[in-house]
Structure 1
Amino acid sequence: MFEQIHKKFAKKDTDLYKLQQEEGFSRYILIRSLGVEHLKDLFSKYTGEQIKKGSADELYLKLYDSGVTEDEIIEYIKSKYPEVRDYRKIQEEFLPKIISEFTDVRCGIRNDDLNETAKKLVRDKSIKSKADLEKKVDEVFDATIRGYILWQYYNQVTNDLIEHILNDHINVIPTLRKISYVDFLIKKGDLIIPFDLKITHISDDYFDLHKKGLTHTDIGNDSFIIGGNKSESELIKEKYKSVKKELSLPNYGSLDKIEMLTILNDKGGDEIKQFGIDIMASRKKMIEEIPTNLKAVEWWNYKFQGERLFKNNNRFFIFLAYKDSFEDARPLKGKIEDIRAKVNEKLNSIIAEPLNNIKYYYNKDKGLEGPYEVNSTSVILTN
């Protein structure tokens, strides 16, 4: 049993939820959350046998086959976690203050693609001298790359700080070592359930589907059916197209929602400005509706996840959204205490309340295409 699970887990199987259904997985994932020294120490504590050497794989198997119970493993993890936490806290001593000093936080590079940013510069035929080139490079660095590096720092640090919130909760079994795609564990009944923490703004594309209408269904391979209403994008493009000639507006093919609304607001009269107000009110209404049906946003984040990082694993989502802006709400990640309140409220009830069961058909990659099923839960923070 161990060898079968271990082989699949080591291969980074894309369907961790399916692997979780195999007998012995709960015991396996608890043991995988331990480092080598913890494995030796735990084995010695409960069996009296000293282990001086052995690879991690050998120690996993030895502990798996031992008489040490899962409750004893959990008890050991919780007794050792304060040491791990204190070590991490010492390393992170100055991080909360640094994050509090950030003001405007922007990624600056679409899809984290630095190559695309470089391509625009190296293909710029307007450059006439080396000095001109150096100036353009400095401009790109100051306007784009500098902001990207600052965002990456902000993103990683806030992730680290938020992980503490979950690991400190009494209902969470923390991991004593980092495991790919497993940030923490929850015991529900006899099962140990691994969760991947995902902190993300609600995508603009989700709001399009929300506007079209999402209806929950128990039939088929998707938990939701998309309705036939006009999407947010369609409404904005329709208005833009209707006045494009009259107001001499640029083509909208490459423009996003914010850019189109900004142009309309700048060029249009009172009727068009009212349209912008109405669209913003509609967005605010959608955000107010979302907390009553977070399952729909969870479903969207599985069904439309990028193929490069595709994974079918249980997730604890922290969604971020602005009520009064079309900008993505990633900067809300810095509101650590507000996030703490939301997360603790959810964790207080996570053992007693059922998780959301998500079904989705994935078709963004032929090699991954097919129906999937998974469990998830989430909270949302709005401004």
Structure 2
Amino acid sequence: MTNLSFAQLDDFFRKDDFLSIEKDNRGTRFLKLRSMSRSKAMKEFCTVHNIDISTLQSRQYFPHIFELANITDEHINAFINQKYQEERLGRLQNEEHLVDQLSRLQHFDWGGSFGNSLEKNIVDNYVKKIQSFDRISEEIEGSILTSLKGYTLNSWYNHWTSILIEDLFKDHPNVLPTVGLVKKIDFFIQNIPFDLKVTYFPEQLLIEKLRIRGYGNEITKLKQICRKLNILIPNDLKDRALKLHLYNKVNEDQRDEAKQFIAELKLQKREIISEAEANPEELKIWFYENQGEARFDASNRFFLVLTDETDISNSWKLKRNIVFLRQKINEHLDTITIDLDRLNTEFFWNKTQQIFHCKSDILFVKQTQ
């Protein structure tokens, strides 16, 4: 363990070097105080503990408190928990209403624009290609409006379900929340900071694993069974939309061959996910190595992987199933032990040809019926 100064720890924080911070004797103390470093919270903390900051500027509060020997981790933890409970009370009173509102979203469809690509989609496919005023006006009322609606609704859903799920973790006694927003830290588990990532089993990895198992390409298999059963295969959909469309058609078909096909595909996917749950290191590394370049970081992450094994395409609905999620998250946190051998993660980032080290944990939440 090192003994770094406040300035050195702050420099590492600004460089996103959390590993160096965690190795320091006072690294966790720095990160906890950093989460409550807004002047309002700092003033309140100082009032509670009779700390005189009358001669200090607001930017000096954080380093001043950090160096005070009579301020212990217990003082910091108690204040953080108190502030969280105050914030939580307001959200808790509105939680039932919020879940009801989120349950009104019936289709999780980006409307042709995935992730944060809405602006790029509009510029590339409409602004730069269409010269006719009448035609682009029609597109605005049609496909662009559809994309805008899908993007907005999905972003709204993801934002509020993420807050609900984050609260489920922070409510647990083995978890210390953060007071304010602090980059790449949502909470601490036994003094280890984690950034929560709510996600699903990656479709790309499922494709790779199906191929490795000898099953083949899912969309090719879907086309084959559709031809065999004389189910129309449209030619106006891109692969991702076509795969979901054909899957739904075969899934709704009541003929024995269709039922057998769907049952075998579901079995293959369940086995792949179960193998990952039994040996999660590969999946954790996959998540790090396949993150988007614009948002790349090597912070500690807690991956919550949601899967509806009755229909993987509906896994998104689990994000609002708060009662089920609370049960599964609490079961995990009730018995959690910090095993550094299990948490230590090493991955290779191809864009910079570097090896990164961090800590990560993973929890699979699966709905089976």
TM-score interval (norm. to shorter): 0.7 to 0.9
Per-residue CA deviations over 1:48-98 (Å, capped at 9, x if unaligned) read: 332246445411111111011112211222233322222444676742221
Partner of 1:218: none
Per-residue CA deviations over 1:309-354 (Å, capped at 9, x if unaligned) read: 1111111111122324453732321112111111111111224555
Gap change, CA 1:345 and 1:3, over 3 Å in 2: same
Partner of 1:122: 127
Gap change, CA 1:129 and 1:45, over 3 Å in 2: closer
Verify the 8 A CA contact 1:169 1:347 in the aligned structure 2: yes
Q: Which of 283, 286, 289 is residue 275 of structure 2 equivalent to?
A: 289
Deviation at 1:157, TM superposition (A): 0.7
Partner of 1:362: 349
Partner of 1:215: none
The residue type paired with residue 18 of structure 2 is L
Per-residue CA deviations over 1:12-59 (Å, capped at 9, x if unaligned) read: x2x42343223321111121121323323333444x332246445411
Normalising by structure 1, we get a TM-score of: 0.78
Identity of aligned residues (%): 24
Deviation at 1:134, TM superposition (A): 2.5
Asked if residue 100 in structure 1 is aligned to residue 103 in structure 2, the reply is yes
Q: Which of 64, 67, 71 is residue 66 of structure 2 equivalent to?
A: 64
5 Å-filtered alignment, 1:1-383, equals 1-11=5-15, 13=16, 15-34=17-36, 35-46=38-49, 48-52=50-54, 54-67=56-69, 68-89=71-92, 94-108=97-111, 109-118=113-122, 119-122=124-127, 130=134, 132-187=135-190, 192-211=191-210, 229=212, 234=217, 237=220, 255-256=239-240, 259=243, 262=246, 278-325=264-311, 327=313, 329-351=315-337, 355-363=342-350, 365-366=351-352, 369-383=353-367
Is the deviation greater in 164-173 or in 94-103? Answer: 94-103
Deviation at 1:252, TM superposition (A): 12
Verify the 8 A CA contact 1:321 1:329 in the aligned structure 2: yes
Deviation at 1:179, TM superposition (A): 0.6
Deviation at 1:135, TM superposition (A): 2.6
Deviation at 1:6, TM superposition (A): 0.6
Per-residue CA deviations over 1:229-261 (Å, capped at 9, x if unaligned) read: 3576647548969999xx998999962495298
Gap change, CA 1:202 and 1:59, over 3 Å in 2: same
Alpha-carbon separation, structure 1, partners of 2:361 and 2:160: 23
Stretches of structure 2 lacking an aligned partner (at least 5 in a row): none
Stretches of structure 1 lacking an aligned partner (at least 5 in a row): 213-228
Normalising by structure 2, we get a TM-score of: 0.81
Gap change, CA 1:37 and 1:155, over 3 Å in 2: same
Verify the 8 A CA contact 2:118 2:151 in the aligned structure 1: no
Question: What RMSD in Å do the two structures reach over aligned CA positions?
Answer: 3.6
